[in-house]
Structure 1
Amino acid sequence: MGAKVVITELDQYLFGQGTHYDIYKKLGAHFSKVGRREGVHFAVWAPNAQSVSVVGEFNNWNVEANPMKKIGPIGIFETFIPNVTEGQLYKYFIVGMNGELLYKSDPYASASELRPGNASKVADISNFQWRDQNWIKKREAFDVKTDAMAVYEVHPGSWRKHPLTKEDETGFYSYKEFAHGLAAYVKDMGYTHVELMGIAEHPFDGSWGYQVTGYYAPTARYGTPVEFKYLVDYLHRNKIGVILDWVPAHFPKDAHGLANFDGTAVYEHADPRQGEHPDWGTKIFNYGRNEVKNFLIANALYWIEEFHVDGLRVDAVASMLYLDYGKQDGQWVANKYGGNENLEAIEFFKHLNTVVRGRNPGTLMIAEESTAWPKVTGDVEDGGLGFSLKWNMGWMNDFLEYMKLDPYFRKYNHNKMTFSMTYAYSEKYVLVLSHDEVVHLKCSMVNKMPGYLDDKFKNLKAAYTFMFGHPGKKLLFMGQDFGQLQEWSEERELDWYLLREESHIQLQSFVRDLIHLYERYAALYAMDEDWEGFEWINADDADRSIFSFVRKSPTKRNNLLFVMNFTPVERSDYRVGLPKKKNYKLIMDQNGMLEEPVLYAAEKKECDNRKFSFEYPLAPYGVGIFLY
């Protein structure tokens, strides 16, 4: 089933240096041969353990049956056990430095038992025939600066569910079922990528996958690791990119997990001021320890190189960069210069992004970073962190604060919609309306909007129009493209039945039109990083709460003029200034894409400090997108 697995002195040296980028091929459980005997080679890093043994279904969980041998100076234990078969459960029984008796899951396991069980599972992930070669080849040329990117953020366990039965109490779609349904929906809507939440194994559904115990194991909720490969492969064959949420910021204290792994702080800092998040009740990785950095960097490479994913969205980056994040005085330790910057995490990010993006051209490393930390997407050589993209949390907060206002008060908050353009080119941004914005009593997107239900839908169409016109990649969380009314919950599927109602059908159709428009015209993405790609026509019409701007293409052809009215007041006499004396085609309004464009000719009438203009009657919450 496999060649002989041997952990060499070079393996140990590289792991100790933090540069063994495929250490997951040596640590963990791997099918192996010793002489003529077939079995599994087990290896685990437990530097301060007195002893370690493997317990599992193959030895009736007998702690004395299969002791492991400590090899080398850095604390790796290994053993070979014959006749172990695919799918058998196991754990490591560890006697800690002070005599602690610990049963631990394998940090490098490729598969896990379905919760509430927490044992690791012997798995062979090598026997899958990939058919996505065309996608992978094409991915190498993907340029985050100039290519379109519209992301559909999805929680697989609650996108759709089967009816619950005694035999199936979860209703989860399998990876294969999910692949087919998701690909069909995403292709129809026009999204270029999906971002999947909660793929790495985690014990508690309510954590949404952000408290990980199995960093190398696709969750057993939806099937096997090979079936997860099928999901990625199928999406790729349907020309859909796959991004995973990835959580290197912290891990939970569950007894079977990484915390106090051998009775001592192995993966975390021993000092709780450095090793714990008081607000989250979780442990912080020790980014100064080479073997821990290696565990995380190899894990990022594992998902990209073994499972072909196209990128990682790195969760809670700010909590890693700031030593005092979420902490009071006395709860944190300053760096050697007396500052609050986590120097070890900074170096970790530079190392991580350089290796991942260097080895895998066209892949994405995306930072969820909520502060004004400089050069998050800057080049490492220039003092940056080396991420491909950064979530634009500032835009999101200002945008939602504005959209939640009664339209009467929007004129006093006009700058909330214009301020983001003052820093739009300081980083490479993704505009995000993520799961975080539709939970914990924050309301769904449509219910954030003011007014009666009909007004809410009109507001949301205007809002999405502004979002798709604004520079930056795009991300929408599932359900928000058809007007999910309830807040999201991981316990139930989306309210797909709403798509029997006209208002939800119309909103979904409108968003579909916006996404297809976004991808069709390079003006909306090819100059996201160039200030010459955007120009305000009127950023100061606060009294009427109207915004107008143009997006320009690199070829100077097929530019787009946007006009949006954020009040319920009709502006039948509205006139918009024009960048050039040309004919302008109205291609989309508040009702969606027009079957036949309507021509508007430039008139020599001054407006918005421009020589030319035309009249465009603006409906209440009306929008207009013009091609010129």
Structure 2
Amino acid sequence: MKILEIDPWVKPYANDVELRMNRYQKLKEVLLKEKGKLYDFANGHHYFGFHRQKDGWIYREWAPAADALYLMGDFNHWDRYRHPLRKKENGIWEIYLSGNHVLHHSSRVKVHVVKEGQGKDRIPLYIRRVVQDKETHDFSGQIWNPEKPFQWTDKDFKVDLGQPPFIYEVHIGMAQEKEGIGTYREFEELVLPRIKEQGYNTIQMMAIMQHPYYASFGYHVSNYFAASSWFGNPEELKSLINKAHEMGITVLMDIVQSHAVKNVAEGINGFDGTVQQFFHDGSRGTHSAWDSKLFNYGKHEVIHFLLSSLKYWMEEFHFDGFRFDGVTSMIYHDHGLGTAFDHYEKYFSLNTDVEALNYLQLANELIKEVRPDAVSIAEDMSGMPGMCLPIHYGGIGFDYRLSMGMPDFWIKTLEKNDEDWDMNAMYHELSTSRPNEKRVGYVESHDQALVGDKTFIFRLADKEMYDSMGKGSQSIVIDRAIALHKMARLITISLGSEGYLTFMGNEFGHPEWIDFPREGNQWSFKYCRRQWSLAESPFLRYKDLNAFDKAMVSLMKEQDLMGETDLKCLTIDNEKKIIGYQKKGYLFLYNFHPEKSFEGLEIPTYQDRKYQVVLSTDEKRFDGDGHIDHQLVYKTVDLKNHPKDRGILVYLPSRTAMVLKAF
């Protein structure tokens, strides 16, 4: 197990890793039997659900504890008992409907499930579209079989795994400036070009799986094979993804397999009349903080259902991979709530859910079988060792881990006085990772933008944003906010992370929080949209923040400066609030001091080179003062305070960062 060589701190827990790997291998043997690959196993969507035949339709369902199932819909005037399903082996039910037109495209359907004399109308488990009645507000399944299916043109698109992901996290519904729900088509036409222009090469789509409550941000999933109808129909989602691929943009899905909505009428909870069909019983099956149901990852049928969902989204919609939500919640029995993961024994204990870890290993192996160029990202705040190591090393198999500690660090830092910011802690937090682990760094995501929290710039500027973001405004609060907004992003993207993420609008300091329409705000969409016009107005300072973000991403991408390769710390001065480091011939220098600018600041470079500034947060085009001379050539000299070293002398203004290139 190579994990023991890569991370020696794991060695005392070698037996735990070996147990996990043995269980994984045995689980695969049981699941696959004569099938050689998970690719051939994860085909529930090809068998269950509705499938067109030569002269009719066949519908299959898995409901092991049910006593009877009846198909109903507009095709039989919603008669609950006219079309019974026949029970077969292993809890499988089936009905064949003769006639090509008995079900047609857009037909609405449900299945009436009877258990111990009690019947409930349910949405089929493998349904591919769910719609809401405008009058009754009830949800029902819908047959999706268009006469002219979408024609893909992206067959030549491949994810370049050698290129770092610059991720633009998006929510289709709130991506529009209008006060309403945006659509797949609007996003394709209006937002995709903006993402491309900004330089991001990957989008991470939230809320794609069907969810009954719009304000859940898509995290209370009800239907695991249905694209959200809040934003349009499946063909329109396919068109969006196809267009992204034509632009060279990778498309990841924010997939939710950590929990499910507890709703019975809309979701999968209690489908066959029992909680145990998909979820654990009792307290283990309920997430108290999320008010949702928790999957039983030790049950083979549940594994089959969830793996089939992964394959379906990749096959049917050409998703290039996934960001797995709530991994920490999955892999610990206490869901990581209130646990400080400050020792390796916290990762290898009775609190660790080995069944969930084994499921994630299966998921990652399947993803690579379907698409060797696919990408998987773990949202894990615990830092589980081996999360991003290959499975055959003893790892879990993810490509990247979302560095959730980074936004937490920035929040805690902003709670301190500027004079008390710790430069050593900043460098450590932003540069440290598990051995061989690839990280996606970020200052903030959608989490920090929600009501109850604050975006980075809103923590800095607060109410001043409403009156002082005009170009002619004078505000020391806004000046500080804009300066630190740029500096935080530059040091976060450049200090070792192999990937980078922003949530749409945060790159230009989008004001206010995200407040989904709800009873408490009179179902208003005023704060559930993106005001792109702010970043386009020549009279507002948002435009300059947007320009800096574009220049920053361009530099990091075009000069291949992501990751820890060749990263060398040059100076950290906690009193002066100075940080300096070198990467691939580029110097990154920061002065976080709230007041002091430094003339003739010594920066050891340990080599004789010439340097010139290529990017500065102080440039006037980025709403800076323009105090840094980009034409000046810095030559290495002997340093007074570092007698044995050579370096350069620079002028570094207060709250300013700059990048110099060696030549």
Distance of aligned partners of 1:229 and 1:266 in 2 relative to their CA distance in 1, 3 Å threshold: farther
Alignment pair present for 1:515 and 2:541:
no
Counterpart AA for 1:276: T
After superposition, residues 115-154 of structure 1 pair within 5 angstroms as: 116-124=137-145, 127-135=149-157, 138-139=158-159, 142-143=160-161, 146-154=162-170
Please give the per-residue CA displacement for 1:118-166, whole angstroms capped at 9, x wherever unaligned: 111101279221111221xx32xx22xx422110111111111445xxx
Give the structure 1 partner of residue 321 of structure 2: 311
Alignment pair present for 1:351 and 2:389:
no
Root-mean-square deviation over aligned CA pairs: 2.6
Give the structure 1 partner of residue 399 of structure 2: 388
After superposition, residues 158-173 of structure 1 pair within 5 angstroms as: 158-162=174-178, 171-173=180-182
- Work out which of the residue numbers 475, 479, 500 in structure 1 matches 2:505: 479
- Work out which of the residue numbers 214, 229, 236 in structure 1 matches 2:245: 236
Structure 1 stretch displaced more, 267-276 or 374-383: 267-276
- Work out which of the residue numbers 24, 39, 44 in structure 1 matches 2:45: 24
Give the structure 2 partner of residue 538 of structure 1: 571
Counterpart AA for 2:150: F
Distance of aligned partners of 1:328 and 1:402 in 2 relative to their CA distance in 1, 3 Å threshold: closer
- The DSSP-based 3-state class of the residue aligned with 1:572 is strand
Please give the per-residue CA displacement for 1:11-30, whole angstroms capped at 9, x wherever unaligned: 9998xx99632220221122
Distance of aligned partners of 1:78 and 1:326 in 2 relative to their CA distance in 1, 3 Å threshold: farther
- The DSSP-based 3-state class of the residue aligned with 1:449 is helix
Counterpart AA for 1:512: K
Give the structure 1 partner of residue 310 of structure 2: 300
Q: CA deviation at 1:114?
A: 3.5
| Number of residue pairs the alignment of both structures matches | 579
Give the structure 1 partner of residue 126 of structure 2: 108
- Work out which of the residue numbers 187, 199, 208 in structure 1 matches 2:196: 187
Q: CA deviation at 1:65?
A: 1.7
Q: CA deviation at 1:172?
A: 2.6
Alignment pair present for 1:218 and 2:218:
no
- The DSSP-based 3-state class of the residue aligned with 2:600 is coil
Tell whether the 8 Å contact from 1:52 to 1:95 is kept in structure 2 after alignment: yes
Structure 1 stretch displaced more, 198-207 or 560-569: 560-569
Structure 1 stretch displaced more, 100-109 or 186-195: 100-109
- Work out which of the residue numbers 267, 277, 283 in structure 2 matches 1:273: 283
Distance 2:144 2:643 in 1: 67
Tell whether the 8 Å contact from 2:173 to 2:183 is kept in structure 1 after alignment: no
Distance 1:614 1:328 in 2: 47
Aligned-residue identity in percent: 24
Distance of aligned partners of 1:75 and 1:476 in 2 relative to their CA distance in 1, 3 Å threshold: same
Alignment pair present for 1:48 and 2:65:
yes
- Work out which of the residue numbers 163, 172, 179 in structure 2 matches 1:156: 172
Counterpart AA for 1:405: K
Distance 1:318 1:505 in 2: 37
Give the structure 2 partner of residue 79 of structure 1: 96
Distance 1:595 1:355 in 2: 53
Counterpart AA for 2:145: D
- The DSSP-based 3-state class of the residue aligned with 1:87 is coil
Q: CA deviation at 1:301?
A: 1.3
- The DSSP-based 3-state class of the residue aligned with 2:81 is coil
Which consecutive unaligned segments of at least 5 residues does structure 2 have?
Answer: 1-30, 340-347, 462-475, 517-524, 622-627
Alignment pair present for 1:245 and 2:281:
no
Distance of aligned partners of 1:132 and 1:404 in 2 relative to their CA distance in 1, 3 Å threshold: farther
Which consecutive unaligned segments of at least 5 residues does structure 1 have?
Answer: 1-9, 164-170, 330-336, 553-558
Counterpart AA for 1:561: L
Distance 1:305 1:327 in 2: 35
Tell whether the 8 Å contact from 1:579 to 1:610 is kept in structure 2 after alignment: no
Distance of aligned partners of 1:346 and 1:176 in 2 relative to their CA distance in 1, 3 Å threshold: same
Distance 2:488 2:32 in 1: 53
Q: CA deviation at 1:251?
A: 0.6
Distance of aligned partners of 1:103 and 1:597 in 2 relative to their CA distance in 1, 3 Å threshold: farther
Q: CA deviation at 1:607?
A: 5.2
Distance 1:161 1:65 in 2: 48
Tell whether the 8 Å contact from 1:606 to 1:613 is kept in structure 2 after alignment: no
Distance 2:114 2:207 in 1: 32
Alignment pair present for 1:463 and 2:488:
yes
After superposition, residues 500-511 of structure 1 pair within 5 angstroms as: 500=537, 501-511=539-549
Counterpart AA for 2:105: E
Please give the per-residue CA displacement for 1:482-517, whole angstroms capped at 9, x wherever unaligned: 111201234421233433243111111001100111
Distance 2:282 2:349 in 1: 18
Distance of aligned partners of 1:578 and 1:388 in 2 relative to their CA distance in 1, 3 Å threshold: same
Tell whether the 8 Å contact from 1:202 to 1:209 is kept in structure 2 after alignment: yes
Q: CA deviation at 1:403?
A: 4.0
Tell whether the 8 Å contact from 2:419 to 2:594 is kept in structure 1 after alignment: no
Please give the per-residue CA displacement for 1:539-597, whole angstroms capped at 9, x wherever unaligned: 3x101111111112xxxxxx211001112322233221113211112101114589965
Distance 2:312 2:642 in 1: 54
Give the structure 1 partner of residue 4 of structure 2: none
Distance of aligned partners of 1:574 and 1:338 in 2 relative to their CA distance in 1, 3 Å threshold: closer
Distance of aligned partners of 1:46 and 1:520 in 2 relative to their CA distance in 1, 3 Å threshold: same
Distance of aligned partners of 1:404 and 1:149 in 2 relative to their CA distance in 1, 3 Å threshold: farther
Tell whether the 8 Å contact from 2:106 to 2:142 is kept in structure 1 after alignment: yes
Distance 1:31 1:608 in 2: 77
- The DSSP-based 3-state class of the residue aligned with 1:458 is helix
Give the structure 2 partner of residue 498 of structure 1: 534
Q: Could you tell me the TM-score, scaled by structure 1's length? A: 0.87
Counterpart AA for 2:365: T
- Work out which of the residue numbers 595, 611, 615 in structure 1 matches 2:645: 611
Alignment pair present for 1:68 and 2:85:
yes
Give the structure 1 partner of residue 472 of structure 2: none
Tell whether the 8 Å contact from 2:449 to 2:455 is kept in structure 1 after alignment: yes
Counterpart AA for 1:204: Y
Distance of aligned partners of 1:174 and 1:581 in 2 relative to their CA distance in 1, 3 Å threshold: same
- The DSSP-based 3-state class of the residue aligned with 1:216 is strand
Distance 1:355 1:609 in 2: 57
Counterpart AA for 2:452: L
Tell whether the 8 Å contact from 1:19 to 1:294 is kept in structure 2 after alignment: no
Tell whether the 8 Å contact from 1:201 to 1:217 is kept in structure 2 after alignment: yes
Structure 1 stretch displaced more, 112-121 or 293-302: 112-121
- The DSSP-based 3-state class of the residue aligned with 1:84 is coil
Distance 1:421 1:22 in 2: 41
Q: CA deviation at 1:396?
A: 2.8
Counterpart AA for 2:169: E
Q: CA deviation at 1:242?
A: 0.7
Distance 2:182 2:414 in 1: 35
Q: CA deviation at 1:324?
A: 2.0
Structure 1 stretch displaced more, 451-460 or 204-213: 451-460
Give the structure 2 partner of residue 285 of structure 1: 295
Tell whether the 8 Å contact from 1:577 to 1:607 is kept in structure 2 after alignment: no
Please give the per-residue CA displacement for 1:578-626, whole angstroms capped at 9, x wherever unaligned: 1321111210111458996542221232556762222221122111101
- The DSSP-based 3-state class of the residue aligned with 1:222 is coil
Distance 1:607 1:359 in 2: 58
Distance 2:508 2:280 in 1: 48
Q: CA deviation at 1:58?
A: 0.8
Structure 1 stretch displaced more, 369-378 or 484-493: 484-493
Counterpart AA for 2:511: L
Distance of aligned partners of 1:606 and 1:127 in 2 relative to their CA distance in 1, 3 Å threshold: farther
Distance 1:608 1:134 in 2: 55
